[in-house]
């Protein structure tokens, strides 16, 4: 670690003054003495980039700071040491960070979408410019999982990582599970509480969690897993019936982001990764099944440390601002750039396990006619694909169709898809089948 001159403050250009930006300004002021004790320097916010300088704001502008609508006022100011990017989005954020790196500035960002989709180019550029690019706040808010994977667990090989990475989806599922709400009512409640993103698809269709998972894969395995190759399925339209039926089997439904190493049958030197975001059934004793509300959690399985569990606030102004400030203090201390956790910033491509090859037990809900021979025909469709049933229950229904729910033994996604297609082609299903993984 380089020694930082105590007399020279770390000068910050802040892009974005919303919930997190305002929280950061507040923490920089409130923790000024502690910041100085931890880094040996003062942290000073010189300029704040906003879209509308006349907008009323709940947090006062940092003392001595200027508002600006010109990105170049941050990127091109020679007195600014570090750009803190909290404005979100990809196009304009990428342009600003690119320009700031060209001008020799360090970067702190919470922009998971940008880093997931275009981060490789930014990491390469930061390496060429010998600049720090830190992003603790981009994944799971206050949970320090980025630094854990980048530093604390570097003596381990990561076997698997799974987590609840989106607080909005978890809030919706928690309300459906605990209070019996249907999906639309729970979603509206999440919006009214201010938990949902402006673009709902980021939350309920799994993309926000997917962006975070891409960053965790890079940190855990030192490979580039393309965002476009990631299997992503959200919770949009998830039925309250499945929440209730899962509970009867002793499970809870959660939106999970998961990556795990799959041994290659041809070569032990190849690390194949199975990764995706999807709703899944977790046994109610599982720690992730107990994570409620807008909280996030990550479970890491490592070859030396074993199982580790991290839990905390995954979003919100102050929790996320605290993570941003921790990155700023690292820059203030003059810590060496360790942007990806690996010496090579140009990471090799991941060897991706195709979605159809994934193996797991499955929860399947079928709506069928209550008539002789249906169970035999359904079982036959599964038997042809080598699928065996572990448990099955039939529920009464007021309509024509009868819900039939089964839990299978371990099978592949391909086999399950083919079995359900056989059932549909044979006219056995009155509604499309519902199928979720069981972890």
Length of the chain measured in residues: 439
87 Cβ contact list (under 8 Å, min separation 6):
15, 16, 18, 49, 93, 96
Cα–Cα dist 213/296, whole Å: 13
Annotated ligand binding at 197? The verdict is: yes
Q: How far is CA 286 from CA 7, 291, 348, in A?
A: 51, 9, 34
According to the annotation, is 341 in a ligand binding site? no
408 assigned binding-site residue: no
300 is in an annotated binding site: no
C-alpha torsion angle, residues 288, 110, 35, 53 (rounded to 10): -130
Q: Tell me whether residue 17 is annotated as binding.
A: yes
- How distant, in Å, are the alpha carbons of 24, 25, 62 from that of 137? 11, 15, 21
Hey, what are 22's tokens?
């305002």
Rounded Cα gap, residues 19 and 276, in angstroms? 29
**Distance (Å) of CA 154 to CA 150, 231, 303:** 7, 27, 11
3-state secondary structure of 162: strand
Strand (E) or helix (H) holding 378: helix 374-384
CB-CB neighbours of 159 under 10 Å: 14
Known binding residue 16? Answer is yes
Specify whether 212 is catalytic. Answer: yes
Coil, strand, or helix at residue 317?
helix
Residue 172 · residue 186 · CB < 8 Å = yes
The alpha carbon of 264 is separated from its chain's Cα centroid by a whole number of angstroms, namely: 27
268 labeled part of a ligand binding site = no
126 assigned binding-site residue: no
Comparing CA positions, the residue from 81, 78, 68, 105 lying closest to residue 10 is: 81
**Residue 189: both structure tokens together:** 């409640």
Contact status, residue 164 vs residue 296, Cβ threshold 8 Å = yes
72 marked among binding-site residues: no
- Rg for the chain (alpha carbons), in Å? 24
Query: Does the annotation place 234 within a ligand binding site?
Result: no
**Max CA distance (Å), the chain:** 85
Residue of 105, 212, 254, 261 with catalytic role = 212
Residue ranges for the binding site for NADPH?
112
Catalytic positions: 212
Residue ranges for the binding site?
15-22, 112, 197
Residue ranges for the binding site for L-homoserine?
197
């Amino acid at each position: 670690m380089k020694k930082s001159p105590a007399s020279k403050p770390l000068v910050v250009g802040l892009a974005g003054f919303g919930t997190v930006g305002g929280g950061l300004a507040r923490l920089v002021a409130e923790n000024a003495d502690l910041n100085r004790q931890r880094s040996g320097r003062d942290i000073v916010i010189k300029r704040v980039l906003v879209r509308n300088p006349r907008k009323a704001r709940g947090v006062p502008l940092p003392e001595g700071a200027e508002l600006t609508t010109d990105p170049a006022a941050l990127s091109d100011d020679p007195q600014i040491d570090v750009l803190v990017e909290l404005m979100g989005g990809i196009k304009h954020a990428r342009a600003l960070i690119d320009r700031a790196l060209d001008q020799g500035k360090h970067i702190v960002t919470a922009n998971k979408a940008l880093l997931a989709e275009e981060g490789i180019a930014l990491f390469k550029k930061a390496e060429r410019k010998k600049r720090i690019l830190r992003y603790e706040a981009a994944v799971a808010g206050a949970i320090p999982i980025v630094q854990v994977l980048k530093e604390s667990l570097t003596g381990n090989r990561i076997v698997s990582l799974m987590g609840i990475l989106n607080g909005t989806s978890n809030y919706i599922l928690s309300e459906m599970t605990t209070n019996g709400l249907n999906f639309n009512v729970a979603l509206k409640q999440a919006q009214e509480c201010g938990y949902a993103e402006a673009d709902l698809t980021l939350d309920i269709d799994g993309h926000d969690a997917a962006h975070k998972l891409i960053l965790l894969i890079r940190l855990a395995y030192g490979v580039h897993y393309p965002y476009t190759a990631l299997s992503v399925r959200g919770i949009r339209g998830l039925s309250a019936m499945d929440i209730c039926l899962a509970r009867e089997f002793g499970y809870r439904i959660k939106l999970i982001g998961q990556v795990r190493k799959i041994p290659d049958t041809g070569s032990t030197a190849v690390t194949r990764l199975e990764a995706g975001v999807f709703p899944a059934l977790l046994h109610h004793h599982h720690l992730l099944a107990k994570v409620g509300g807008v909280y996030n959690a990550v479970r890491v399985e490592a070859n030396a440390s074993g199982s580790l569990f991290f839990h905390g606030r995954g979003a919100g102004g102050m929790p996320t601002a605290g993570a941003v400030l921790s990155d700023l203090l690292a820059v203030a201390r003059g810590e060496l750039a360790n942007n990806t956790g690996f010496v090579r910033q140009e990471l090799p491509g991941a060897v991706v396990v195709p979605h159809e090859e994934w193996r797991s037990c499955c929860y399947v809900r079928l709506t069928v006619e209550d008539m002789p021979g249906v169970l035999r025909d359904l079982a036959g469709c599964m038997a042809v694909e080598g699928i065996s049933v572990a448990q099955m229950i039939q529920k009464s229904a007021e309509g024509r169709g009868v819900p039939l729910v089964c839990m299978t033994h371990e099978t592949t996604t391909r086999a399950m898809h083919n079995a359900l297609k056989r059932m549909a082609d044979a006219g056995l299903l009155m509604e499309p089948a519902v199928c979720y993984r069981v972890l």
